[in-house]
Amino acid sequence: MARMLLLLWSLGPMLWQLYSSLRPNEALSGMGTGGWTLEHYRQLLQSDPPFLTTLLNSVVVGASSTALTLALAVPCAYALSRLGRRQARALTALVAAAAAFPAVLLFLALLELARDWHLANQLLALSLPYAGLCLPLAILLLTAAFADIPIELEEAALIEGMGLWQRLRWILLPLMAPAIASSGLLVFLFSWNEYPIALTWLSRSDLLTLAPAMARIAGSSVYTIPYGAFAAATVLGSAPLILLMLLFQRQIISGLTQGAIKG
Amino acid sequence: MTNSGATGFNGLELHGLSRRVGNHTLVDQLSLQVAPGEILALLGPSGCGKSSTLRLIAGLDPVSSGDIRLGGRSITTLPPAQRQVAMVFQSYALFPHLSVERNLSLGMELRGMARAEIKRELDQVLALMQLQEQRQRKPAELSGGQRQRVALARALIRRPALFLLDEPMSNLDAQLRDNLRAELRTLLRSTGVPVVYVTHDQHEAMGLADRIAVLRNGRLQQLGSAETLYRDPANRFVATFLGSPSINLIERGDLQLGLRPELLELANAGSPVPAGWEALEGQLSHREWLGDRVISHVHCPGQGTLKVLSSEAFTSDTLQVRWPKAQALRFHARSGERLPGSSDPHTA
């Protein structure tokens, strides 16, 4: 019973959105009983630019931000976990400070950068600030994960004659897969949901990512609030995330390091 | 064997090997030799520098001073991969994401060995270690003994010029350990290369090794066969570290007498002491019955409790403990150095 309540509590809002997206406008504003309709989805998919373009934009930005963040964070975390304790502690404190820095303070400066370096209206360019903002957290998470891998495993590989890249490729990265998957997912979620930078860097409507595009739907009419369209956008917007979670949940949960150390 | 030159000696040689970290000296001027086919045990309490020594030989830590030679050539500055050493870690360090087979073959694959050759080597070593049925299993699906065999197999398959083992038995239960000792000894001997075996367990060292090096605070205390260390210890530390139950120590001014429990005899209190013997009177505090032997703990006022090993329990509770004077080991009370004049208790 308690489980059902908890499930209802966490799934309730999502189910409400799903429900709203399938009801005609009259029913939502309480002026009729309506029935069921796919009208909101049809509108969304046929709008200009089509909603799928928006989703695709978000996927491109999310994927490139995740890739860039991981490409930088993994070597960084490896180095931090293998440094002497004193240097590592100082550097980790710096990284933690960067993670705690309020990103809002950077918007104006970022806008200047975008203008000077002609980064505005370029989808891939968005991954620069996204990766920059996500790096500290990713580094901290991955450093902890690297530190959890027993050093003997790497030493055994060293004695086997494996070079640095071979050790990373064959021993460390496979063991890091769960940590890498979950940090990557965090970065992807961040860029999927990010609003202010996307709003200020992108102005062409065919380049909009999910968050600013949804804001446009919400502000598209002065006299009515388009509940239905908004709910449909929410449902379509969260579908890829749910898919990703389902895809990676085994990776994230798996206890891959079990049995590495006897006992 | 005393020749320290580059020529002639074929095994492993350490010359004045030291490792210092900050103000700490982990290994202090260690010199010893291990012949091909010989098993040398590094024995000592935790923190004595035995594992540090092993890591220096393997090349996992840098040497502060001294020289390591293998097969007549210096390997002191070579990276681990080029030393041709194989190491079995205390934790076994099996790659948890790889099957038994891949754990053994990964190194060879990356070195670019031909597939057919890898398969041949694999089949051979898996058969030797009786691991054919576990080929496809992951380390997590193996028992402790099987994991240890995989770790040994991974070391064997490299055909190393030197075998290093870091407490390979410490995670097995006592029964299994006893059974494996002889097996492991035969296996290690068959490789025909020098073997360095680190342990803190005297039984393991005595049962496996040809010679034992006892370490304390990074310094070599004594090097010799188990029998030599037991009967003719260089100092009090070696005398107390080897032997179970451990040696009895009693104060004699600035001397300490070391009395092995099996040297002591029990008699009724007040019995006449034979010539050339010394005796203490005491009260029996308790007995440990071990089946074939009994350890009697006798409390002697002013001297503490003496452990006496005998084949049968003595019925009386007030006892005389006596020993032939000439067979007691004599140590300097402060330094713990062995003093001359105390003869070997078993040759007298």
Query: How far apart are alpha carbons B58 and B67 in whole angstroms?
Result: 13
Chain-wide mean pLDDT for chain A?
A: 84
SS3 state at B320 = strand
Q: Which residue has the higher pLDDT, A214 or A159?
A: A159
Q: By the CB < 8 Å criterion, does A257 face chain B?
A: yes
CA–CA separation, B165 and B133 (whole Å): 25
Structural domains in chain A plus CATH codes: 49-253 (1.10.3720.10)
Inter-chain residue contact A156 with B60, CB threshold 8 Å = no
Q: Write the residue in A160, A166, A256 that is nearest to B96 by C-beta.
A: A256
Q: What is the pLDDT of residues A55-100, one digit of tens each?
A: 999 999 999 999 999 999 999 999 999 887 888 888 889 998 888 8
Nearest to B96 among A162, A170, A259 (CB): A259
Distance from CA of A82 to the nearest CA of B (A): 14
B172 CA: distance to closest CA in chain A (Å): 9
Residues B80-121 have pLDDT tens digits of 988 989 999 999 999 999 999 999 999 899 988 899 999 999
Residues of chain B with a CB closer than 8 angstroms to some CB in chain A: 58-60, 80-82, 85-87, 89-97, 106-107, 110-111, 138-142, 144, 147-148, 154, 158, 171
Q: What one-character-per-residue DSSP string does A140-167 give?
A: HHHHHHHHHS-HHHHHHHHHTT--HHHI
What span, in angstroms and rounded, lies between the C-alpha atoms of B226 and A163? 41
Are the Cβ atoms of B141 and A263 closer than 8 angstroms? no
> Which pLDDT value is given to residue B119?
93
Give pLDDT tens digits for A243-263.
Answer: 888 887 776 665 444 334 433
Predicted model pTM: 0.81
What's the topology of domain B12-231?
Answer: Rossmann fold (3.40.50)
3 state DSSP class of A262? coil
In single-letter form, the type of residue at position B329 comes to: L
Measured between beta carbons, the chain B residues lying within 8 angstroms of A171 are: 95
The verdict on a CB contact (< 8 Å) between A260 and B94 is yes
**Is there a contact between B110 and A161 if contact means CB atoms under 8 Å apart?**
yes
**Which chain B residues have a beta carbon less than 8 Å from that of A170?**
95, 106, 110
The whole-angstrom separation of Cα B87 and Cα B99 is: 19
State residue A255's pLDDT score: 40
Higher pLDDT, residue A263 or A175: A175
What is the tens place of the pLDDT at every residue in B238-260?
Answer: 999 999 899 999 988 889 999 99
DSSP letters along B288-315, please?
EE-SS-EEEEEEETTTEEEEEEESS---
Structure tokens at A185: 């997912």
**Mean pLDDT, rounded, for B326-347:** 77
For residue B63, give how far its alpha carbon lies from the nearest alpha carbon of chain A (Å).
17
B328 φ/ψ angles, rounded to the nearest 5 degrees = -75, 140
pLDDT at A254: 56
Among A209, A42, A35, A201, CA closest to A111: A201
Among all chains, which residue has been given the structure tokens 């709008």?
A47
pLDDT beyond 80 at A219: no
For domain B247-332, the CATH architecture is Beta Barrel (2.40)
Q: What is the pLDDT of residue A246?
A: 85
pLDDT at B347: 42
Task: Say if residue A220's pLDDT is above 70.
Answer: no
Rounded to the nearest integer, the mean pLDDT of chain B is 89
Give the closest residue to B214 by CA, choosing from B231, B227, B232, B202. B202
The CA–CA distances, whole Å, from B186 to A234, B131, B150 equal 70, 18, 17
- pLDDT tier for residue A35 given thresholds of 50, 70 and 90: confident
3-state secondary structure B223-284: EECHHHHHHCCCEHHHHHHCCCCCCEEEEECCEEEEECCCCCEEEECCCCCCCCEEEEEEEE
Q: Give the C-alpha separation, A209 to A202, whole Å.
A: 8
A172 CB neighbours in chain B (<8 A) are none
pLDDT at B348 over 50: no
**In chain B, where does the domain assigned CATH 2.40.50.100 lie?**
247-332
Residues of chain B with CATH 3.40.50.300: 12-231
